[in-house]
Structure 1
Amino acid sequence: MISLQEQLLKAGMVDKKKAKQLNQEKRKQVKQAKATGQVIVDESKEAAKRALAEKVERDRELNRQRQAEADKKAIKAQIIQLITLNKIDRRRGEIAYQFTDGKKIKKLYVDALLQTQLIKGVIALVKLRDGYELVPAAIADKIAQRDDSAVLVHNTKVSNDAVEEDDPYAAYQIPDDLMW
């Protein structure tokens, strides 16, 4: 194996006189250290160890980021698969069902049966890429476990039996089919 000094000489970066002088200084340092009992610290080896440790840490961080991206893609693929396999046909829709997607109000046409199922929470409305689909409530729960923002409308059953004592509107019933 060719030493670093020989490689530098071969490349012409150091001349023979300079290399000889560096060798003499190194021998003097080693001899002095042995005489006084000091431990010689090779700074280049320490710097190489630090650089290696930093590289390992950077590689670990990059691997963690790649794994997080892969997990995110896998979850997105699972959501798309759940929606496409379990979507409910809504081609016969003539009733406009309005809902919010972020800050925008959107409209989806459904039939009367689907509308009542949406209101009662039997089915839910989810976002699929740029469109919207209807899925059963159990599937919407599975989708919400993976990404809560994909489920746009999932009504839950609220018990009307528990009425507060001082509620001024307790005598007035709210209709279930209220449209906005």
Structure 2
Amino acid sequence: MVKNALQAQLLKAGLVDSKKAKKITKQAQHEQRTGQDHKASLIADIEKTQQSKQQKDLELNAEKQKQLEQRTLKANIQQMIQQHKIEKTEGEIAYQFIDEQKIKKIYINQQVYNALVAGSLVVAKATPYVLLATALAERIEQKMEGFILWNKSEENTQTTDENDPYAAYAIPDDLMW
């Protein structure tokens, strides 16, 4: 049981645990018997513990705030994608693109296919894959990466081998099989 009000307050504030309270009690009894005064060191220890706890709390709050901002930004981007997606794109032409090292396929009409090949539309990641205008896709990509899957305007960064006999022959991006 706690013997004085200071210990009760420290326990209630969470600055010390029951072991530390017992230690403080024993030290106080020892000081009374020997006549030594270690209250200043105890107060310094308490302040040091309190400062470290405050620092830890600040770090945890900053991490939580960062995670909250990330979730909010992601939700805002998903809402932008849903509001500005191109409607009525269904058709017979299969369009293939890569998402997370897997080839995905959507069926689109000829007009949308031509716009994708020309680079005025891009494929965006949503619950179903959607098509967006390039200007909006650039704004989304500036805010957070990972939502735009395929963009025709991106440069082809593949390097070719010097001894490749087919290096002179260009492969069209819109090749249909």
Give the structure-1-normalised TM-score.
0.70
Q: Which runs of 4+ in 1 moved over 2 A?
A: 3-8, 18-25, 40-43, 167-177
The change in CA–CA distance for 1:21 and 1:74 in structure 2 (over 3 A counts) is closer
**Aligned counterparts, 1:163-174, within 5 A:** 172=169, 174=171
Q: Which residue of 1 aligns with 2:140?
A: 143
Of 11, 23, 36, 1:29 maps to 36
Root mean square deviation of aligned Cα: 3.2
Q: Which residue of 1 aligns with 2:153?
A: 156
Q: Which residue of 2 aligns with 1:126?
A: 124
Structure with max Cα Rg: 1
Q: Match of 1:150, as an amino acid?
A: F
Instruction: Quote the offset at 1:146 in angstroms.
Output: 2.1
**Number of positions where the alignment pairs a residue of Structure 1 with one of Structure 2:** 151
Q: Which residue of 2 aligns with 1:65?
A: 63
- Give the match's secondary structure for 1:148: coil
Q: Which residue of 2 aligns with 1:4?
A: 4
Superimposed CA distance per residue, residues 121-165 of structure 1 (whole angstroms, 9 cap, x where no aligned partner): 10110011x32100100111111112221110111176xxxxxxx
Alignment check: 8 A CA contact 2:92 2:108 kept: yes
Q: Match of 2:132, as an amino acid?
A: V
Of 102, 105, 113, 1:104 maps to 102
Q: Hey, what's the Cα distance between the residues in 1 that align with 2:6 and 2:31?
A: 13
The change in CA–CA distance for 1:21 and 1:145 in structure 2 (over 3 A counts) is closer
Give the structure-2-normalised TM-score.
0.71
Q: Hey, what's the Cα distance between the residues in 2 that align with 1:6 and 1:67?
A: 34
Alignment check: 8 A CA contact 2:89 2:112 kept: no
| 2:41 is equivalent to residue 43 of structure 1 | yes
Q: Hey, what's the Cα distance between the residues in 1 that align with 2:112 and 2:121?
A: 8
- Give the match's secondary structure for 1:53: helix
Alignment check: 8 A CA contact 2:119 2:152 kept: yes
Q: Hey, what's the Cα distance between the residues in 2 that align with 1:113 and 1:43?
A: 79
Q: Hey, what's the Cα distance between the residues in 2 that align with 1:20 and 1:126?
A: 71
Of stretches 78-87 and 169-178 in structure 1, the one that deviates more from structure 2 is: 169-178
Q: Match of 2:95, as an amino acid?
A: Y
Q: Hey, what's the Cα distance between the residues in 2 that align with 1:22 and 1:41?
A: 9
**Aligned counterparts, 1:65-84, within 5 A:** 65-84=63-82
The change in CA–CA distance for 1:86 and 1:29 in structure 2 (over 3 A counts) is same
The change in CA–CA distance for 1:116 and 1:42 in structure 2 (over 3 A counts) is same
Alignment check: 8 A CA contact 1:121 1:157 kept: no
Q: Hey, what's the Cα distance between the residues in 2 that align with 1:171 and 1:21?
A: 91
- Give the match's secondary structure for 2:132: strand
Q: Which residue of 1 aligns with 2:17?
A: none
Q: Hey, what's the Cα distance between the residues in 2 that align with 1:44 and 1:90?
A: 73
